[in-house]
Amino acid sequence: MSVKNYQLNYSLTSTLDKPLILFLHGFMGNINEFDEAIKLLFNEFSYLTIDLSGHGKTQVLGGDEYYTMANTAHALINLLDELEIAKCFLVGYSMGGRLALYLALNFPERFYKVVLESASPGLSTATERLERIKLDTQIGRKLTRTFEKTDFIAFLSNWYNQPIFGDIKNHPEYDRMIESRLQNNPQELDKSLRFMGTGCQPSLWEKLQCSTIPMLLLVGEYDQKFISINTEMVKICEFAQIKIISNAGHNIHFENTLAFVENIKTFVSAAS
């Protein structure tokens, strides 16, 4: 669907008596990121999935500024308006979780509850953001040099060596996940990283303190970095709760799909 400055690739499966969940994938993901979880949620929920800016088949028609978090968020709100979705539940993973938090804090009237999987409010100081921008620029340069499929595979292999991902490379479906990641365009991923990376996004720590939307923060037991971040988040936001998921690192919905789904069901159905 065309909304201002974007040609958005999305999938909507909606039934009137089933509440709707908007799913936002992580960096290098795409519209199919949550397929296995959706199979387990399908009988009870409607769902909307989308390729975010720089990913999958979505096209950014404006300049590079339309890869930013603020403009991407406005595009998603415009999409909800076009689809006549006044309010829904929201689930975001990693980069998509940072975007979900931005949406929840800036458009709280559009969401009932929010599930953030391995997400953060960004970096709180200018120095931290500058250092992260430098790092993401280096990563982006490596991406733009992946001229062959084998180069991209090598990049992905190195990416998933990061400690936050735990033992993900030994997962029986790891190769399938890599094939899905390969559907993206490395040059477009570079733009996503440069304009919506953790260093570029606005810090959301201050706004988080004032949020009144119920939030469930999911983190994997092997992802110590995000356990620490999310523990700090619940300290400053009384409407947030944290759940540490066993047998998972950063990518919980992939590594422990059942626990991911059960936590969503329990949280969404609970009285606020």
Query: Domain extents for the chain?
Result: 2-269
| pLDDT value of residue 92 | 98
Q: Which two tokens stand for residue 264?
A: 């969503």
Terminal-residue alpha carbon distance, the chain: 34
Average confidence score pLDDT of the chain: 95
Homologous superfamily of domain range 2-269: Alpha/Beta hydrolase fold, catalytic domain (3.40.50.1820)
pLDDT(127) > 70: yes
Residue range 40-60: average pLDDT?
Answer: 96
- Do residues 254 and 177 lie in contact, with contact meaning Cβ atoms separated by under 8 Å? yes
- Do residues 66 and 5 lie in contact, with contact meaning Cβ atoms separated by under 8 Å? yes
Query: What tens digit of pLDDT does each residue of 86-118 get?
Result: 999 999 999 999 999 999 999 999 999 999 999
The whole-model pTM stands at 0.96
| pLDDT value of residue 145 | 87
4 confidence band (pLDDT: 50, 70, 90):
confident
pLDDT(272) > 70: no
| pLDDT value of residue 144 | 87
Q: In what order do the strands lie in the sheet with 2-3?
A: 2-3, 6-7, 59-60
Contacts of 124 (CB under 8 A, 6+ apart): 203, 205
| pLDDT value of residue 2 | 66
Give the bridge partners for 185, in sequence order. none
| pLDDT value of residue 146 | 83
The count of other CB atoms within 10 Å of the CB of residue 53 is: 26
pLDDT(222) > 80: yes
Burial class of residue 197 (count of CB atoms within 10 Å of its CB; 0-12, 13-18, 19+) = buried
Using CA atoms in the order 226, 92, 102, 263, what is the torsion angle rounded to 10 degrees?
Answer: -70
pLDDT(207) > 70: yes
The count of other CB atoms within 10 Å of the CB of residue 187 is: 12
pLDDT(271) > 80: no
